[in-house]
Structures are given as C-alpha cells and as structure tokens.
C-alpha cells in the first residue's frame, strides 16, 4: 500500500531559525517560501532533497496540533513521516480494517501539498506518527 516517502515532518518553534540551519549548516539549496496552513494549525516550509522533502512545521496558533509536541520538545524534533498512497480512501478503509486508529475526524483533509491526507495514531504505528497522502494526480 505505501508508496514513496514524500516528506519527513520536522516540528520547530521557528521556521526562520530552522531554515538557517538547513541552509547555512546543511547546505540545503532548494528552500520553499514559508506559508500558512491555518486549517491544519501550522505554518509550513518545504525543503527539497533529491528524493524527498523536509517539511518544517511551526504552530500557527496556540490550538495547533503540534503545541503538545513542542512543549515536550522545546527545540523541536522529528515529528512525522509521510508516505504517498494511490487512493486515500482505499488506504483509510484498509487501515481501519486492520484496526489502525485514524486521527482527527477520521476523514481525509487537504494537506500542505493540496492533496488529501490522514494521520495514523503513533500507538498503532510503533511509536511513529504516520501521515498518508494521496499522490497528486499527474505526478510520477
Ligand atoms: C496536514 C498538513 C501537513 C502536511 O504534511 O500536509 C502536516 O503534516 S501538519 C502536521 C501536524 N498535524 C498533525 O500532526 C495532525 C495529527 N496529529 C495529532 O492529531 C496529534 O499531534 C497527536 C494526536 C498525534 C498527538 O497530540 P498531542 O501531542 O496533543 O497528544 P498527546 O501528548 O496525548 O500524545 C498522545 C500520544 O502520542 C504520542 N505522540 C504525540 N506526538 C507524537 C509524534 N509526533 N510522534 C510519535 N508519538 C507522538 C505521545 O507521546 C503520546 O504517547 P503516550 O504513550 O500516550 O504518552
Ligand atoms: Co506532513
């Protein structure tokens, strides 16, 4: 079911500071413009690598779903990993049939790439927050 690793989500208290780290220390060259995603409670900035992206995420406001994570990890940290799937609804049905908890309402929502996503509960995923994202049409 899972396809390409699309991105690694990295929570940070400051996208601006994280951009300096990835650009000036790690030499990243393809750094997107940060943008707000209030519907998902985050500010986002994608950093491209040859095979996948780093998704820097900062709380949009105090109701952000990553506020709890940053309270436990004030300097930020690796937050989730996102795999692509061909059909998000089929993936949700398969996960539910296997007893995996889909977070939130359980229904796909539009994510930072403009494609539908769901999140699988870490307790069912070996302690890793997994995001599934439907491969945008016309890609690969
Ligand atoms: C969608 C836009 C964008 C995109 O790519 O398109 C993004 O990826 S935005 C990413 C931010 N959005 C989300 O993460 C949505 C899904 N996340 C959630 O619903 C919450 O963050 C949740 C439920 C995973 C955790 O919420 P919270 O931290 O408030 O609750 P707890 O502290 O009670 O945590 C419960 C339990 O889960 C463990 N946990 C929390 N976060 C993580 C994590 N990132 N990785 C692994 N485990 C995590 C936490 O330690 C608790 O474990 P327990 O054993 O019960 O103590
Ligand atoms: Co993500």
> Residue 137's pLDDT is what?
77
Distance CA 134, CA 5 (A): 12
Residue 130, classified by CB atoms within 10 Å of its CB into exposed (0-12), middle (13-18) or buried (19+), is buried
> Residue 136's pLDDT is what?
85
Tokens 């209030």 locate to: 38
- Evaluate: CB of 42 within 6 angstroms of ligand 1: yes
> How many whole angstroms from 62 Cα to the centroid of ligand 2?
19
Q: Report the residue among 122, 123, 133 best suited for mutation to probe ligand 1: largest number of ligand atoms under 8 A from its CB.
A: 122
The predicted model gives 80-102 an average pLDDT of 97
Ligand closest to CA 115: 1
For residue 58, list its beta bridge partners.
43
Domains for the chain: give ranges and CATH numbers. Answer: 5-134 (3.10.180.10)
For residue 36, list its beta bridge partners.
43
Distance CA 13, CA 69 (A): 10
Q: Report the residue among 60, 66, 69, 76 best suited for mutation to probe ligand 1: largest number of ligand atoms under 8 A from its CB.
A: 69
> Residue 138's pLDDT is what?
65
> Residue 140's pLDDT is what?
47
Nearest protein Cα to ligand 1, atom 20:
65
For residue 119, list its beta bridge partners.
131
139 touches 92 (CB < 8 A): no
Q: Percentage of residues in the chain with pLDDT exceeding 90?
A: 95
> Residue 9's pLDDT is what?
98
Read off the pLDDT of residues 94-132 as tens digits, 9 standing for 90 and up: 999 999 999 999 999 999 999 999 999 999 999 999 999
Residues with CB under 5 A from ligand 2 (ion): 9, 55, 82, 131
Q: Percentage of residues in the chain with pLDDT exceeding 70?
A: 98
- Evaluate: CB of 43 within 6 angstroms of ligand 1: no
ipTM: 0.97
């Amino acid at each position: 079911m899972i396809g390409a690793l699309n991105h690694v989500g990295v929570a940070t208290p400051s996208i601006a500071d994280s951009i300096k780290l990835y650009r000036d220390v790690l030499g990243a060259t393809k750094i997107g413009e940060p943008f707000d995603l209030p519907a998902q409670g985050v500010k986002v900035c994608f950093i491209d690598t040859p095979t996948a992206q780093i998704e820097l995420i900062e709380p949009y406001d105090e109701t952000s779903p990553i506020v709890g994570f940053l309270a436990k990890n004030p300097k930020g940290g690796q937050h989730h990993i996102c795999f692509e799937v061909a059909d998000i609804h089929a993936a949700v049905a398969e996960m539910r049939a296997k007893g995996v908890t889909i977070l939130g309402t359980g229904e796909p929502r539009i994510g930072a790439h403009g494609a539908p996503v769901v999140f699988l509960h870490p307790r069912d995923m070996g302690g890793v927050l997994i995001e599934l994202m439907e491969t945008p049409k016309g890609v690969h």
